[in-house]
Amino acid sequence: MAGLQMSVVIHAVVYVLVVGGLWALNQDATPDVQWIKWVAWGWGIGLAAHTTVWALMRGRARR
């Protein structure tokens, strides 16, 4: 269980760092086209799914 929890934390940290960097790039390169929202949204769905699996597995382990 600890491994899955750590993977969710790592996923979230990488998400914040990469999306933050891409946001800065978007603002610098093409401020009139906000493409970062699609990247953040799509990757956010993956992060939400990963977190949901962790939460379900955690709940199952507590039974």
The helix/strand/coil state of 35 is: coil
Predicted local distance difference test score (pLDDT) of residue 63? 64
Segments in the chain below pLDDT 70: 1, 63
For residue 58, the model assigns a pLDDT of 86
**Around 2, how many Cα atoms within 13 Å sit in the side-chain half-sphere?**
0
Which residue from 18, 9, 12 is spatially nearest to 36, judged by alpha carbons?
18
Contact 56, 5 (CB under 8 A): no
pLDDT of residue 50: 96
